[in-house]
Structure 1
């Protein structure tokens, strides 16, 4: 047989054999490469969807050996619900019509577990365009999706935290302004009561107005509790004694259709908290429990000692008392429970709740170093747990002086009153003048310093904290450079006394009464006399 030579004298038959061998080697290398891939399931399907090849990645991801799966229909990898909806057939039809199908969804492993998969199916056709099968690539994206969900949860938590912080700042600012308005109302009514004729109807109207103003002051304290800006008078509290004292009040508040069961251990640690805020928290929780059982029922109040090791929720290591209010009412689903402590969120309907109760309890508990924990199931009731730090065993309960005790200064004083709110400034001055003092008014810290330089007879400085340009604490620091021994009263509605104003400063909470102001003046003068 003659050998065919090309133009260069080479043998065409030999070159064809060489190309064929190279192609065969390339195909072998590609097959080995595909077979060796373990991060992707790569396999072939015949035109009907039956598995015809299987690589190592497919075995690792799906769990089947080649012997177990080759010859089986690829719909075995789909969930039962997807098979019922015809998803496998739809995937092949899409690939047949458009050349490719891609999607993400749940797939099944051999052991019955599910995994999240990214799937691509490519149609394979011969030179004449006839469909000869499908190439299928599957990637396990379970971990990626889990990481994405965790990121979304973290983002949502950050968003909620920022939202709560913004609302807290707004609430604190509104409460501060309310305090100033209430200061003007309460002080004006107090002075008016002293000056009008002793007519019973007039006195009754003034007293009613004062009570309304005091209720408004209690509301601002609740708002500040939510914003965690109210002053907390932390003291040692015997929880069992507190609940015993409150039982009558709680029962009258919720009504006779609901029975209160109190379950305490024989010995229980005292807690360190603000007694008024704790009473308010318990009252709110009891009312919530009542509303969850409109037909009546039992409300349990329990308390136990708990030792926390490490970090649990918002708690650090230490000993705590967990005070619980438990009902067997309607309960909450997971979505409602997740939003329960959001400010202004309520399920009670229009006019039946402000949505601030749980958020204020949350703020109170957190400010005291504890937390509010909620557990609930629809139809099985709700358990609200207030965690508070246990008081040290050698602590003593602080006793505040009775509010109606009047302290009278030995001599009238020349007082410099400073406040940027003209209503508050005018009424503070009027209260002091009514007590016999001489008052000089300043509408800013800058003006107050000018007066201090001009007047040597000023014996006492009383100043607001939140003022523009120069805050109360900044004024106090500057004033003490001029008068090192100057008695100072810081009047503020916010809870924290600034560190730079804490030394040798008497704090006076807004809104204050004339008796509160008189006591603060007397105590400040006596301490520094």
Structure 2
């Protein structure tokens, strides 16, 4: 073929002409590839390549033992910088950074099983840096002409941007919900014509007294507002779809249980919410509590009216200003003085700066500075500019309101400047207002529930209000002349001295916390606000002891919760290790059993017995470890309390120390009880550990049990036959305060990291589950005794399920479907069952077993592990087996599983088990009539 020839290679017909990757494939040297020249490719591969190159969806094919990668143009974009070098290379080498993620998927597909995932996260290096990506894909095995899996085909979609968009949307939603909750105004949502509360923010819950309103109709949640108009306005907005706005509307609410109705003023809007069909589905309500503003406005209006009456003139103006100096409201008198109309005022352009001549700006700014420093001004005189440019003289004074705005009254003193009499009248009026403010201050001093104090800079007290005796127990005569520092907690003295130095420097104190000594010797937390005044300090303190105690209790609960979470994580790790160790013990025990059946050498027999004893000891240790680790459901059974405690004596002695002696006492003919054995053992271990910690210098732990019969009038409120288990130590005992909280969850006297506070709570829970109760007897230095009452069981203690030898010999047939993923355990168990006379079909997972159960082949019994890889667990497989073959006996085996208890009506064999025990259980599980075949 010459260099100028246009002849196409013989395989060009399945490499798309318009495809970029198709062109690369035509130019690629396939002779050095494990696939060979394309004309020799298998027909399925050539067909898939032709389909793939003609598609706009990202697709690729992995073919042959070398797992060679072939892809289309759309997938080249996913490869990024890896393209075009990736063409014809090993798929797992191309994606070496995610090899561990892809290997199981590739192996599963090459094994002939198709896989589909809606989302998988992969950290790729396709652009020169690590990048989190997300994909949806399906891996399909592709078979050659002989029916063997020769490769896989994948159609995929990159969903990275969609995933991150959803994540951003969720974060934004969470931020909006947080803003909704913390908004200063109140918000809530009603659904339906009954106006059912769907959500509400903190401000609204505070307004209605933190009631439980969510999910309740408003007429049920707030019955006291019936007849106040709110229900009718809400019904109107819902029916008409038109918003309803209320401004400064009075509402009488019961804000505390049993308290009288309290009048509040609210501004709100009922905004209808419409569904997709345009119909009103609810109301969104937004508003604010304007009670304080209304009260302040009413007080100021009243003050203005009093001033008007006192002056008996029409030249007193009243204005309200915002923080920028803009006039937001004014009375008619002021507008007449300034020559402006109400429309001019509503334009928002009027300000004190605009009304002040340049030569009077300095005195105005001095008044503003005084207002910011003290909250009010002394009267000032200045000239004002009218709208027409003329001026008039006025006397003004201002006061700061609680919301940061300012109220200012302005008196036209143009005539007073010409007449001394008008000025004297004005001074008399101002003196009267000062007297009124002084009277109000004295009334507040006497009636306030907050403590008030005046002291010198050296902390010597010169005056206190009556609240000191109510809050801290100190009468006035015992405090005057005394230093405040004498009453402060030693740990707070340095911080208080530093704060006093700030006051001496002229700085105001806000929300400073320290502890003051009560007259009874205890300390109370006080939050102080203090203002320096020359050589004196005026301070107001609020008792916040309850808030501090609540905060400390919450912090302690959080610490204990974190500790409990750590213990849970340790338990999960212990359970996982125990599960793997059980499989090792199972394989070892099975091998020892099989070796023992194949040898009669007297020298080997003792070694086999010793090995089996070691396996039994290991199994017991693992079971005790899992008693702490597994969070499974309760499985109560009838147990002999005496035998159970004695069997645990070795574990209990290991939990104690060498200087603590264990003593047991059991009454004769002790009744059986009904309890979960694992929970019982865990409770006993908890009691032993608590006793050990209470006896740091050694001592004696006594466990005793006796039968008791309770009469109907027993203080425990229980009646009938019970077994009383008592666990007593000779340790330090409990104080009365600790004793009252002994069974509280998360309550512990141990330091952080030494206990979660769940031990005695679990003990109490066990007693209640066993139909009884628990209590503690203790005293400081007198030791502690924990008593558990557990109801007598009406059933007999289950005897060991031992089959006679004749029965064993009679039952050695049938086909067993064995499902076990551990290869060593599976081979050992299969060999043992075949030696016992069974036929065994062995698979590794429930996914492999399910087609066999669905088929027509003979299966007499299903024996499956619970925890295994794949889509289904052993419990899921048991349910499917019951559905497909209702009469098929099923036996599950597990050493650790949270879901084993969900398989109702199925026999469960605990790992590790002995081969003889397994054979007996399988013989017992098979029906008396022999083997059972599928009849569906």
Instruction: Give the TM-score, by structure 1 length.
Output: 0.74
Compute the displacement of 1:437 (Å).
Answer: 1.3
Partner of 1:407: helix, strand, or coil? helix
CA distance in 1, matches of 2:863, 2:522: 71
2:635–2:901 CA contact under 8 A, matched in 1: no
- Alignment match, 1:182: 585
Indicate which of 829, 839, 857 corresponds to 1:428: 829
Shift of 1:185: 1.5
Partners of 1:117 and 1:138 within 8 A in 2: yes
Aligned to 2:674, the other structure's residue is in SS state: strand
- Of structures 1 and 2, the one with the larger relative CO (CA 8 A, separation 6+) is 1
**Number of the residue aligned with 1:352:** none
Partners of 1:77 and 1:109 within 8 A in 2: no
Match of 1:108 in 2: 517
**Structure 2 residue aligned with 1:416:** 817
Query: Would you say the 8 A contact 2:560–2:756 is kept in 1?
Result: no
Picking from 147, 156, 166, the partner of 2:559 is 156
Q: Which residue in 2 is equivalent to 1:396?
A: 796
Mapped pair 1:519 → 2:920: yes
- Classify 1:7/1:59 alpha carbon distance in 2 versus 1 (closer, same or farther; 3 Å): same
- Is 2:447 aligned against 1:36? yes
> Structure 2 CA distance, aligned partners of 1:255 and 1:523?
45
**Aligned counterpart for 1:139 among listed residues 528, 536, 542:** 542
Distance 2:839 2:589 in 1: 21
Cα distance in structure 2, aligned partners of 1:106 and 1:203: 77
Matched, 1:302 2:698: no
Task: Say whether residues 1:488 and 2:897 are aligned partners.
Answer: no
Provide the rounded CA distance (Å) in 1 between the counterparts of 2:572 and 2:659. Answer: 40
Q: Residues 308 and 497 of structure 1: is their aligned pair in 2 closer, same or farther, counting only changes over 3 Å?
A: farther
Task: Give the CA deviation at 1:221.
Answer: 0.3
Query: Comparing 332-341 with 492-501, which one deviates more in the overlay?
Result: 332-341
In 2: Cα distance, 1:431 partner to 1:373 partner: 51
In structure 2, the partner of 1:462 is 863
In 1: Cα distance, 2:457 partner to 2:732 partner: 56
Unaligned runs of 5+ in 2: 1-413, 736-747, 931-936
Deviations 1:182-240 (A, max 9, x none): 11111122112223x4434433333333222222211210121112468967224254x
TM-score scaled by length of structure 2: 0.45
Where structure 1 has 5 or more consecutive residues not aligned to the other structure, the ranges are 126-130, 310-314, 344-357
Paired residues of 2:417 and 2:423 also in contact (CA < 8 A): no
Deviation readout 1:242-285 (Å, 9 max, x if unpaired) = 7799999999x999998765556789654334779978987998
For the 8 Å contact 1:408–1:522, the answer to whether it is kept is: no
Residue 450 of structure 1 corresponds to: 851
Offset at residue 141 of structure 1 (A): 0.7
* Contact 2:563-2:753 within 8 A present in 1 as well: no
In the TM superposition, what is the alpha-carbon distance from 1:522 to its structure 2 partner? Answer: 0.7
For residue 389 of structure 1, give the secondary structure of its aligned residue in structure 2: strand
Distance 1:508 1:222 in 2: 17
- Checking the alignment, whether the CA contact within 8 Å between 2:563 and 2:752 is kept in structure 1 is no
Q: Pairwise mapping of residues 315-330 of structure 1 onto structure 2 (< 5 A)?
A: 321-328=723-730
Change (3 A) 1:452 1:389: same
Q: By how many angstroms is 1:520 displaced? A: 1.1
Matched residue count: 492
Partner SS, residue 463 of structure 2: coil
Q: Indicate if the aligned counterparts of 2:472 and 2:518 stay in contact, CA closer than 8 A.
A: yes
1:96 correspondence with 2:504: yes
* RMSD, aligned α-carbons: 5.0
The corresponding residue for 1:222 is 624
Q: Report how far residue 107 of structure 1 moved.
A: 1.3
Given the superposition, is the C-alpha separation of residues 20 and 202 from structure 1 closer, same or farther in structure 2, using an over 3 Å criterion?
A: same
Which whole-Å CA distance do the structure 2 matches of 1:151 and 1:294 have between them? 30
Distance 2:443 2:649 in 1: 80
- Alpha-carbon deviation of 1:320? 6.1
Checking the alignment, whether the CA contact within 8 Å between 1:44 and 1:54 is kept in structure 2 is yes
Structure 1 residue 453, shift from structure 2 partner: 3.4
When residues 528 and 48 of structure 1 are mapped into structure 2, their CA distance, relative to the original with a 3 A threshold, is farther
Shift of 1:176: 1.8
